[in-house]
Amino acid sequence: MLEGILPGDVELRDLGAHRLKDLANPEHLFQLAAPGLERDFPAPRSLDARPNNLPVQLTSFVGREAEIAAINELLDAARLVTLTGPGGTGKTRLAVQVAAERLGRHGDGVFFVELAPATDPALVPSAVAAALHLREGADRPITETLNDWLRERDLLLVLDNFEQVIDAAPFVTSLLGAAPRLRVIVTSRAPLRVHGEQEYPVPPLRIPDAAHLPGLAQLSQYEGVGLFIDRARAVRPDFAVTDATAPAVAEIVARLDGLPLAIELAAAKSRLLGPEGILGRLGSRLAFLRGGARDLPARQQTLREAIDWSYRLLDPVDQARLRCLGVFMGGFTLPAAAAVLELDDPAIGADDAVGGLAEQSLLRRDEGERGEPRFSMLETIREFALERLVEAGEDEVERRRHATYFLGRAEQLEPTLLQSNESGDDIARDHDNYR
């Protein structure tokens, strides 16, 4: 290819084909050999250099540098790190990226175990064994085989979609107890709640303040915007953000809570619509954001299905609680939740009801100014909850309870409103709920 172009004392050494991180197909590598340059190097660190079964990613990975650094630091210290978050936050993609970047650090390999098809916790050991290419023997429990095989190995396991087999959590700690050099990344919508676990809630992608937009050059540095641009160009190669479309793009990623799945589904609409057209349809985002890639699992092809996956894993009581709490706008306190849910014991019941949904990554906890916790839903989840509330015929009752609570709260604060900043701040925090 370069014959006749390179000087006579310069040559290219063929290193063969190698799988490289973030590239879908193997790339042919060459080493430049010339006077004054080192001639002997270790073999390239490709994905094939260490045993692994990591899924090859066909799309680019955008941002998350801070998250990757934080997870690596936790893994070095804790050995079991659980990435939690609602559906669509990119837990799996982040876990795979971290695993790929750690290939050179685990001499016996990095292995990915897909647990989404599993519904029985008892099948988790067999799924791990299959990923490691271990055969099950009829005369010996597979857990013993795994413990013995892993005992002296330096290996990283990624256990993906653990939420529906959460009762298999003790199995994970048994592996870690038997294999001191083993490390495990779990992705789940809820923590495992076992000894030695370090939870890492995966945050949404960084998004700009739509009211104070930076310049175009800085705008694409926000991960949410960068992902939208990248995926929009996949269906429309000439897509570009301009001064005219920048506000709409920023508003799109903000309205979608910085959720990677939602942003990707919205960006795919760029085949037919411009940013203003996409933004105008987000009033019904759950109906609009569908038609994802056909090679993805069904739960990742529509925004509604991604949330419904989590909803179906809840017991009927928690499903009803999620529906009811959808009436709040801009967040709520525990006393407000107790009033809307009409709990028999507000003090204890609200902690239990709200805490359970927060553990399932369906509510976010924020620290109030006076140390009182406030909780909120991502708007995408809230829209889903309200849909289900209407379908259940419960919306009028819950909206009445909501209005009754805030009317009583306003009457309680009114006498001190002019004398106390705290009373004014209290009402300001719930401005959206009072409207």
CATH number of 314-434: 1.10.10
Q: What is the mean pLDDT of the chain?
A: 85
**pLDDT surpasses 80 at 224:** yes
Candidate from 87-91, 132-136, 178-182 with smallest mean pLDDT: 132-136
Residue 327 has pLDDT above 80, yes or no: yes
Give me 295's structure tokens: 């090679």
The pLDDT, as a whole number, for residue 119 is 86
φ, ψ for residue 84 (rounded to 5)?
Answer: -115, 160
C-alpha distances in Å from residue 366, one per residue of 27, 95, 278, 333: 46, 25, 30, 10
Q: What is the pLDDT of residues 34-61, one digit of tens each?
A: 776 665 555 555 555 678 899 888 888 8
Q: What is the CATH number of domain 65-201?
A: 3.40.50.300
Q: Is residue 123 pLDDT above 90, yes or no? A: yes
Note whether 65-201 and 314-434 share their fold: no
- In our burial notation (b when 16+ CB lie closer than 10 A, e otherwise), range 195-223 reads eebebbebebbbbbebeebeeeeebbebb
Q: Is the pLDDT of residue 239 over 50?
A: yes
The CA–CA distances, whole Å, from 318 to 47, 86, 286, 339, 352 equal 43, 15, 21, 16, 10
- pLDDT given at position 217: 79
Q: What pLDDT score does 21 carry?
A: 59
CA distance 128 to 113: 6
Strands across the sheet containing 110-114? 110-114, 155-160, 182-188, 80-84, 197-201
Helices 124-131 and 142-150 meet at what angle, rounded to 10?
40
Give pLDDT tens digits for 264-277. Answer: 999 999 999 999 99
Task: Measure CA 73 to chain center.
Answer: 19
Q: For residues 265 and 289, what is the distance between their CA atoms, to the nearest angstrom?
A: 6
β-bridge mates for residue 183, sequence order: 156
Please report the pLDDT score of residue 17 as a whole number. Answer: 46
- Give pTM, 2 decimals: 0.82
SS3 208: coil
How many helices (H) and strands (E) would you count in the chain? 19, 10
C-beta separation of 278 from 266 below 8 A:
yes
pLDDT at 401: 92
Q: What is the pLDDT of residue 27?
A: 65
Torsion angle (degrees, nearest 10) of CA 161, 165, 169, 171: -110
Residue 434, pLDDT score: 79
**Is the per-residue pLDDT at 361 higher than 60?**
yes
Considering only 218-227, 306-315, 417-426, which range has the smallest mean pLDDT?
417-426
pLDDT in tens, 278-302: 999 998 888 888 876 676 766 767 8
| Extents of the domains making up the chain | 1-49, 65-201, 216-297, 314-434
